[in-house]
Amino acid sequence: MSKYVKRFGMLAVLAAAMTLPASAADYPDRPVSLMVAYSPGGATDFQARIVTMVAANEEYLGQPIVIINRPGAGGKVGWNKFASGARKDGYELAAYNVPHFIAQSIKFKTKYNVENLEPIANWGADPAVFVVNRDSPFNTMKDVQDFAKANPGKLTVSGAGLFVGHHIAYLQIEKALDGKLKYVPHKGGAPALKSVLGGQVMAGVNNLSDAYRSRDSLKILGIADVQRNEEFLPDVPTLKELGFDVDDSSVNFRGVMVRKGTPPEVIDMLAAKVPEMFKNKRVAKQMKAGGSPVRVMTRDQVKAMWAKREAFLKQLLAGL
């Protein structure tokens, strides 16, 4: 009996040794899945669908990418499953949202962190903006600062949940204003924006893309980024220009990653082809039409960005 087991075992090892390099060379020979940790129809989901729609073209993967949604708990459910159970052969990709997943891995007991995931490429960057209702007495960030200093803890600011981009921008803004504000977490960006439009809160931190669509009912006072957004809001100053020490740490980066342990040949192949796919003309046109700011970054750039964010967030969230 044991002889057979041994023989079978050896055969299996041989077979594995023979197929592994072959499969990495043929990669991908069947459709690839991309896990999105948010519900269908949300910004991450529909952007992921747009940027992967040309994957089957010969010059890119030659195989379609299928979107699989695993929503829940602000992305924790999907990413936990991905980091602990996804295959490491390159056929299961996932979309990341920075700073969300990094902040969660610092604040909560998650199965994922910067160490056990490998970035492939970045497709978009949606900075946070500081908004108030069109009828608000605040016209500039200076007005906001004056009110906050005169009325500590009275200025309510909505945003999507805790330890997401909006919250991080809020923390930076609060520090830079040198006053005390009141953060009101919501279930997502849309309800948070709704409460600014409906006058339930006095101000809000929200996505540039969503605020841009509602710009007729809002005043967009500043962008939490290092540069202005020339494409959508060329006239809105960055908070930095206005003299507040807020950088791009809260910018919501979206891109593609795989699990650590994926064969290097597969990672290299993806890292070479995926950014090209994101730059495709049709993709760019659809993203622009949907009001989604594009920022294509290569694997090395994303790696550096992840490391920088993690260091910053560890410091920022240490006191909370």
CA angle 40, 44, 45 (to 5 degrees): 30
Q: What is the DSSP letter of 121?
A: E
Helix or strand (DSSP H, E) at 102: helix 100-107
| Residue 187 makes contact with other proteins by CB under 8 A | yes
Q: Is 317 in the site for other proteins (CB under 8 A)?
A: no
User: Between β-strands 117-126 and 252-259, what pairing exists: parallel, antiparallel or unpaired?
Assistant: antiparallel
What is the nearest approach in angstroms of other proteins to the Cβ of residue 72? 3
Tokens of 260: 């650590």
Q: Confirm or reject binding of residue 286 to other proteins (CB under 8 A).
A: yes
- Residue 183 C-beta: closest distance to other proteins, Å: 8
- Distance CA(121)–CA(28), nearest Å, equals 17
Q: Can you tell me which of 56, 57, 60, 69 binds other proteins, judged by CB under 8 A?
A: 69
The yes or no reply on residue 199 touching other proteins (CB under 8 A) is yes
Residue labelled with tokens 């090892």: 13
Which residues make Cβ contacts (< 8 Å) with residue 174, sequence separation at least 6?
180, 181, 183
Spell out, one character per residue from 12 to 51, where the chain touches other proteins: x when CB under 8 A holds, - when not: ---------------------------xxxxx-xx--xx-
Least Å from the CB of residue 56 to other proteins: 13
Which are the contacts of 78, defined by CB distance < 8 A and separation ≥ 6?
Answer: 35, 36, 37, 38, 69, 70, 71, 72, 94
178, 172 contact by CB (below 8 A)? no
In terms of CB distance, is 74 or 124 closer to other proteins?
74
Select from 142-150, 188-196, 237-245, 266-274 the region that touches other proteins (CB under 8 A).
188-196
User: If binding is defined by CB under 8 A, does position 194 make contact with other proteins?
Assistant: yes
- Give the three-state DSSP class for 141: helix
**Using CA atoms, how far apart are residues 272 and 3, in angstroms rounded to an integer?**
46
Task: Return the number of the residue (285 or 308) whose C-beta is nearest other proteins.
Answer: 285
Rounded to whole angstroms, how far apart are CA atoms 281 and 203?
A: 37
Task: Decide whether 39 or 227 has the Cβ nearer to other proteins.
Answer: 39
> Is residue 197 at the binding interface for other proteins, with CB under 8 A as the rule?
yes
126 CB-contact burial (10 Å; exposed 0-12 / middle 13-18 / buried 19+): buried
Closest by CA to 201, choosing from 177, 223, 214, 218, is 218
Q: Given the structure tokens 């993806």, which residue do they identify?
A: 270
Q: Among the candidate windows 10-18, 23-31, 211-219, 221-229, which touches other proteins by CB under 8 A?
A: 211-219
Count of residues near other proteins by CB under 8 A: 57
Minimum distance from residue 3 beta carbon to other proteins (Å): 38
Tokens, residue 173: 């803004």
Q: Does 166 bind other proteins (CB under 8 A)?
A: no
Stretch that binds other proteins, among 153-161, 253-261, 272-280, 309-317 (CB under 8 A): 153-161
Q: Does the footprint of other proteins cover residue 87 (CB under 8 A)?
A: no
State the greatest distance between any 2 C-alpha atoms of the chain, in Å, as a whole number.
84
Q: Please pick, from the candidates 34, 177, 193, 246, the single residue that binds other proteins as defined by CB under 8 A.
A: 193
List interacting residues with other proteins (CB under 8 A). 39-43, 45-46, 49-50, 53, 67-74, 76-77, 80, 107-108, 153-156, 161-163, 182-187, 190-191, 193-195, 197-201, 210, 213-214, 216-217, 286, 288-292
